């Protein structure tokens, strides 16, 4: 029986190639994820080790403490120390080419070590050597457009600009703080002058030749004192790795989720392929039964066949995955600055990828193998190779599908009736899985119903080939359903993400339009040394008020206080615009009642404080405790502070202070270009003030969402490719199965071109049906998921993108039918009619 099975494999090798390709791609995704993870981990380790290896011993300051200059002198005096240098770090805001500060937080001003302790790589140019020179971290240089030789301006501790020449671009490795804020490097004296820092965050020590690092660490620790942590290069590397905050395993989990989707689609393709093969080999199975093969032997024969295919495809998949993983590592290295390095292949891709591919293939073939055991020996006497066409949805399938769909709909309804948040969002994910399984169970009914709708137009336009294609697509709805489900998975996920992201964009646009009716938002760059954000200088506000292009200049002041004994922030704003230019959603009460002794609360804050309109809350400040009456409660997103005081009360409690934010509304008729020029003119001498317009915020959000979609689409593309392989596989096997039928059609007058067109239209109908189901299901799930996650979500329906999915599915289906169509057209009519 084993010899017979292996002989059958050789005989049907071409038929199984597409099946092997599907599992190869799925396993390749899984193996590639592990290769990517291992390569990135090794890259991180190399980078941390390379940085730390230049240091024999490091003295680290914890928290806000600094290593004083006297301690550095004591360390330098230790016997066995060849060199010791302190590292200065602090705020040094870099000005972009537009004259505004770069980033939401100041760039890091840091000292660049020299000589043997120069830990960071200068990628272009050289390190700074004098007072007027500086280096830029390479990512900041890319974002700001500065190059070696350019002149830059950097603000010192007192926000006074200083001019420097860029002498080089530096790679600081994987540093979480610099990766977020960016950095400007100076000589040590200049770094201390610019940042205003006294002391060092770290002192790096180089051992003299022949001095052991561990012995030197003990001596340096005694000189530095117990207030600081002293480690060797190995300990420094471990700290750098921990401080980086990077978790490669999270990246692996993200990719593995899409790999599971690809494997699921591959399993559907395998199941469909073996189902068709068993149907085509009815006489072969029956003959085996006639010559003495038992049901168990037939069952094991089919499983052995699937195991051989799965094993070979999985091994090939691991090889493909190694290439995919290394390619992905190179992309990450070039696109995100993460370390790549040489390829690292552990045993994990082999130990996981091969068993996973083998198990998925064998499990997918279980039901077809069971069907093979039910072939009666008498079937060997039939002259027709194709068994009876089956495929109508059974009553059990219909009941199960209806129950799953109803259960999923119930869970989704329950999620939508609950307050939006993470819990309801997870409930929607469970509901989506139940509904999808229900749709899979009911897919034969859906395919049969939709084939008439989708295939009606081609049947009318293309005549006989179109009508034949429609009949073929409806001939075996169960087989067509399994084929379309593979495509439906990918299209559902693509549509779901598209609708979800479009809804996020629509919700944000709605909030900006109704809750943020301002043209510009001004804020000062945050300071990492202060507990509160920097205020906007009063002189800048005065200049803005003097501009004739603005109808409203709204100041927002905030301060820390205790409300009903709870720590929090309270604020005030230019009150005359409240209710006129600013119209937040009022849940209860009236904004007109905001007077001295009253307060307006946001709904979330009111719930936390247990307050309601007409009630009171206590406000505790340095001036004492005051009791305030709740005048109104607002809901939704708004620019109002969550605890809004009357301007008089705020000044009495916290004194007169500059605003933390300023909102500007341009007069009617003033163009965006004119108003922006007015803002830039007023803030010319205040580079620390950042300006954001509503259009800027929308563009930033839109760019971020588009990037997310491109990443998701690229990862789901593999699942869609596998599903198209399934369509091509089904058509290829269908061509073999219907050899005599195709020959008969040719004999009755159907041309080769007509036969090819028939198969192309059949693939078109199947693909569009799968895409339509995916679009409807994905749109519903995407909208429900966002509604469960975000309060007051606004539906966004990307019509253009959805139409594009349908068009691409149609073209891809036609493309998948090219090779099967050519094979059918080349087959001899006489030979096909003579075949049994």
pLDDT value at position 388? 41
Place of tokens 């001019």: 163
Instruction: Determine the Cα angle at 135 with ends 133 and 140, to 5°.
Output: 135
Tell me which range, 172-181, 596-605, 632-641, 696-705, is most confidently predicted by mean pLDDT. Answer: 596-605
> Higher model confidence: residue 374 or residue 399?
399
Task: Dig out the tokens for 510 from the structure.
Answer: 């709605």
Task: Dig out the tokens for 48 from the structure.
Answer: 């941390």
Contact of 828 with 742, CB cutoff 8 Å:
no
Question: Is residue 661 over pLDDT 50?
Answer: yes
pLDDT band for 286, please (50, 70, 90 cuts): confident
Contact of 206 with 55, CB cutoff 8 Å:
yes
Residue 544 to residue 560: CA distance in whole angstroms = 27
Question: Is residue 306 over pLDDT 60?
Answer: yes
Task: Dig out the tokens for 69 from the structure.
Answer: 């200059």
Question: Is residue 532 over pLDDT 50?
Answer: no
Instruction: Determine the Cα angle at 774 with ends 408 and 442, to 5°.
Output: 55
Residue 118 to residue 735: CA distance in whole angstroms = 69
Which range has the worst mean pLDDT, 132-146, 394-408, 728-742?
A: 728-742
pLDDT value at position 46? 66
pLDDT digits (tens, 9 = 90+) for 228-284: 999 988 888 777 766 665 556 666 777 777 777 777 777 777 777 777 667 666 667
pLDDT band for 83, please (50, 70, 90 cuts): very high
Average pLDDT in the 442-455 region?
85
pLDDT band for 789, please (50, 70, 90 cuts): confident
Contacts of 261 (CB under 8 A, 6+ apart): 489, 490, 493, 716, 719
Place of tokens 């295939």: 455
pLDDT value at position 18? 63
Place of tokens 């937080």: 105
Contact of 170 with 129, CB cutoff 8 Å:
no
> Higher model confidence: residue 153 or residue 62?
153
pLDDT value at position 166? 96
pLDDT digits (tens, 9 = 90+) for 327-377: 777 766 655 455 555 677 888 889 888 998 888 888 888 887 787 777 777
Question: Is residue 2 over pLDDT 70?
Answer: no
pLDDT more than 90, % of the chain? 25
Which range has the worst mean pLDDT, 42-56, 419-433, 708-722?
A: 42-56
pLDDT band for 149, please (50, 70, 90 cuts): very high
**What sign does the dihedral 794-800-803-804 (CA atoms) show?**
negative
Tell me which range, 168-182, 784-798, 814-828, is most confidently predicted by mean pLDDT. Answer: 784-798
pTM of structure: 0.69
- Residue 292, classed as helix, strand or coil, is coil
Task: Dig out the tokens for 425 from the structure.
Answer: 């969002």
pLDDT digits (tens, 9 = 90+) for 568-618: 889 999 999 888 888 888 899 999 999 999 999 998 899 888 899 999 999
Tell me which range, 159-173, 238-252, 503-517, 725-739, is most confidently predicted by mean pLDDT. Answer: 159-173
Summary mean pLDDT of the chain = 82
CA 458 to chain centre: 39
Which range has the worst mean pLDDT, 214-218, 391-395, 528-532?
A: 528-532
Question: Is residue 833 over pLDDT 80?
Answer: no
> Higher model confidence: residue 344 or residue 219?
219
Pairing verdict, β 624-635 and 598-602: parallel
Domain segments of the chain as ranges: 1-52+248-388, 53-243, 443-515+694-836, 535-687
pLDDT value at position 185? 95
- Alpha helices in 374-476, H assignment, sequence order: 395-416, 422-461, 463-475
Which range has the worst mean pLDDT, 338-347, 750-759, 799-808?
A: 338-347
pLDDT band for 164, please (50, 70, 90 cuts): very high
Which range has the worst mean pLDDT, 98-107, 177-186, 271-280?
A: 271-280
Task: Dig out the tokens for 687 from the structure.
Answer: 């580079």
Instruction: Determine the Cα angle at 149 with ends 144 and 154, to 5°.
Output: 50
Residue 303 to residue 299: CA distance in whole angstroms = 6
pLDDT band for 44, please (50, 70, 90 cuts): low
pLDDT value at position 403? 93
Contact of 716 with 494, CB cutoff 8 Å:
yes
Residue 311 to residue 617: CA distance in whole angstroms = 70
Average pLDDT in the 377-389 region?
52
pLDDT value at position 338? 52
């Amino acid at each position: 029986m084993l010899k017979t099975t292996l002989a059958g494999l050789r005989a049907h090798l071409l038929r199984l190639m597409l099946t092997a390709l599907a599992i190869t791609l799925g396993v390749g995704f899984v193996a590639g994820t592990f290769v990517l993870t291992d390569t990135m981990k090794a890259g991180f380790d190399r980078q941390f080790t390379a940085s730390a290896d230049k240091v024999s011993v490091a003295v680290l300051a914890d928290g806000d403490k600094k290593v004083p200059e006297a301690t550095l002198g004591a360390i330098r005096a230790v016997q066995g120390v060849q060199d010791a240098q302190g590292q200065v770090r602090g705020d040094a805001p870099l000005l972009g080419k537009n004259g505004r500060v770069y980033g939401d937080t100041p760039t890091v001003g840091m000292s660049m070590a020299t000589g043997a302790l120069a830990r960071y790589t200068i990628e272009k140019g050289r390190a700074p050597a004098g007072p007027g020179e500086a280096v830029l971290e390479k990512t900041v240089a890319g974002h700001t457009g500065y190059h070696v030789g350019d002149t830059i301006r950097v603000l010192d501790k007192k926000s006074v600009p200083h001019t420097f020449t860029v002498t080089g671009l530096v790679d600081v490795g994987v540093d979480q703080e610099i990766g977020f804020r960016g950095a400007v490097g100076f000589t040590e004296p200049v770094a201390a002058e610019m940042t205003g820092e006294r002391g060092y965050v770290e002192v790096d020590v180089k051992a003299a030749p022949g001095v052991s690092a561990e012995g030197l660490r003990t001596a340096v620790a005694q000189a530095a004192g117990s207030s600081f942590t002293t480690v060797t290069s190995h300990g420094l590397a471990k700290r750098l790795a921990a401080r980086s905050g990077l978790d490669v395993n999270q990246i692996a989990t993200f990719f593995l989720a899409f790999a599971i989707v690809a494997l699921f689609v591959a399993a559907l393709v395998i199941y469909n392929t073996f189902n068709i093969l068993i149907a085509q080999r009815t006489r072969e199975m029956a003959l085996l039964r006639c010559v003495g093969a038992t049901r168990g032997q037939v069952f094991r024969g089919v499983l052995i066949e699937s195991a051989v295919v799965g094993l070979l495809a999985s091994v090939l998949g691991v090889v493909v995955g190694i290439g995919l993983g290394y390619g992905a590592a190179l992309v990450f290295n070039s696109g995100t600055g993460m370390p790549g390095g040489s390829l690292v292949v552990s045993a994990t891709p082999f130990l996981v990828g091969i068993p996973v591919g083998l198990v998925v293939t064998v499990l997918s073939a279980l039901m077809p193998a069971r069907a093979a055991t039910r072939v009666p020996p008498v079937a060997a006497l039939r002259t027709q190779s194709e068994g009876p066409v089956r495929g109508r949805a059974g009553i059990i399938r219909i009941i199960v599908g209806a129950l799953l769909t109803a259960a999923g709909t119930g869970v989704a309804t329950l999620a939508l009736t609950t307050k939006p948040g993470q819990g309801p969002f997870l409930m929607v994910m469970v509901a989506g899985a139940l509904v999808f399984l229900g749709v899979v169970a009911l897919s034969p009914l859906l395919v049969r119903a939709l084939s008439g709708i989708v295939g009606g137009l081609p049947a009318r336009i293309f005549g006989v080939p179109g009508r034949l294609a429609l009949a073929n697509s409806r001939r075996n709805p169960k087989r067509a359903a399994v084929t379309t489900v593979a495509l439906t998975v990918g299209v559902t996920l693509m549509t779901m993400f598209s609708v979800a992201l479009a809804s996020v964009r629509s919700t944000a646009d709605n909030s900006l339009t109704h809750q943020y009716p301002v043209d510009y938002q001004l804020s000062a760059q945050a300071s990492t040394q202060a507990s509160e954000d920097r205020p906007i200088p009063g002189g800048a506000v005065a200049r803005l008020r003097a501009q004739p292009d603005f109808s409203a200049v709204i100041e927002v002041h905030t301060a820390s206080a205790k409300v009903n004994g709870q720590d929090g922030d309270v604020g005030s704003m230019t009150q005359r615009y409240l209710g006129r230019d600013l119209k937040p959603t009022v849940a209860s009460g009236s904004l007109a009642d905001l007077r001295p002794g009253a307060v307006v609360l946001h709904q979330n804050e009111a719930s936390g404080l247990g307050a309601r309109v007409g009630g009171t809350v206590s406000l505790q400040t340095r001036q004492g405790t005051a009791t305030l009456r709740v005048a109104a409660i607002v809901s939704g997103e708004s620019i109002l502070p969550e605890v809004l005081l009357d301007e008089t009360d705020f000044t009495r409690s916290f004194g007169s202070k500059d605003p933390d934010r300023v909102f500007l509304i341009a007069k009617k008729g003033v163009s965006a270009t004119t108003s922006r020029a007015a803002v830039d003119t007023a803030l010319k001498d205040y580079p620390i003030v950042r300006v954001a317009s509503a259009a800027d915020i929308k563009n930033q959000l839109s760019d971020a969402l588009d990037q997310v979609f491109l990443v998701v689409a690229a990862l789901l593309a593999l699942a869609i490719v596998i599903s198209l392989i399934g369509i091509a596989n089904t058509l290829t096997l269908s061509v073999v199965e219907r050899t005599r039928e195709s020959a008969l059609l040719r004999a009755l007058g159907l041309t080769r071109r007509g036969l090819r067109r028939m198969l192309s239209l059949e693939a078109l109908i199947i693909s569009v049906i799968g895409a339509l189901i995916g679009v409807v299901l994905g749109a519903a799930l995407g909208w429900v998921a966002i509604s469960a996650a975000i309060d007051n979500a606004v539906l966004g329906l990307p019509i253009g993108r959805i139409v594009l999915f349908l068009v691409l599915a149609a073209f891809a289906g036609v493309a998948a039918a090219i090779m099967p169509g050519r094979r059918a057209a080349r087959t001899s009519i006489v030979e096909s009619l003579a075949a049994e």
